[in-house]
Amino acid sequence: MQETKINHKEWYVPIAFILCFGWLAWHFPFFTLDFLTPEDPSLLEQLSAQMMRNDITPNLPGLFGGYTDIVDWTALIAMPILFIIGVLTVERARMETEIWRPLDRVAVFIGRVTMVLISALTTVMIYEVFLRYVVEAPTLWANELSLWIAGFVFLCSGLYAMQQRSHIRIFILYDILPRGLQKLCDSISTLLIVVFAFFLFYGGYGEAFTKFYRWETFGTAFDPPIPATLKPAILILVSMVAIQAVINLVSDWNLEPVKHSAADDIDQDEIEALKRSVGSN
């Protein structure tokens, strides 16, 4: 894929995707009550109480005789559509790796979502600092919201870093090996990642499903569904990291050996920009 200038329009899709995801994360008990009504009376009462407390649009009637209203259904339908549009329209930034396959677009779009989440996280923290230390009226939700966003940033950035080959690696021995042994090392490391992801998914699926179905919350005044969303997200994104590792192995298999040095960490474009800036003063 050829280098292109950053198209600011491609940021609208990640923002809309995050808004839809956030809406669904806050209103998901409505769908559970409509389609997977718990037989346990205590769980039914818990989800009903969450619905009454968290409903952002209480005056909108439910569709199809249920609890979910038109905004809930719009978010549910729009989120996969926005994901597909984002994957198809994402463009490679100048500093990103040139090794692209069609499946790499998923990780790059998740990277764009992560960048928007970082901006949102920073905004929430600045807002809380201002209210706490200037106005002296701290919020009840900023800390938990920051933790919630930061959890997704941590998970999503791992997938993006895998696609960009930007995880920390030590090349002292790798660079002196012949290409055949380098491929063997790459295969072993990929296998270890896949095995780790498999056993993590196998061992954590039951707990993740329980937290998701019960829509377990954080137990604070704001009470966000951090356990209900982050636990399944861990399994999904670690599995995606393993898949991306396999994609990287296939993409890099026939590449010529690359010798690494300290110069690899130098951004030549940034240096040239600094030179132009200094020269213009």
Nearest-CA neighbor of 226 among 240, 213, 238, 215?
215
Between 6 and 273, name the one with better pLDDT.
273
Between 113 and 271, name the one with better pLDDT.
113
Between 167 and 231, name the one with better pLDDT.
231
CA 258 – CA 72 distance, rounded (Å):
50
126-145: average pLDDT: 92
Residue 111: CA count within 13 A, CB half-sphere: 20
Model confidence band, residue 6 (pLDDT cutoffs 50, 70, 90)? low
Between 5 and 238, name the one with better pLDDT.
238
> Does the structure show a pLDDT above 60 at 232?
yes
Two structure tokens written together for 10: 């491609």
Structure confidence by residue, pLDDT tens digits, 204-218: 999 999 999 989 988
pTM, 2 dp = 0.85
Q: Which of 124-133, 170-179, 254-263 has the lowest mean pLDDT?
A: 254-263
- Looking at residue 1, its pLDDT comes to 44
Two structure tokens written together for 272: 């040239």
Whether residue 72 contacts residue 27, with contact meaning beta carbons closer than 8 Å, is answered with yes
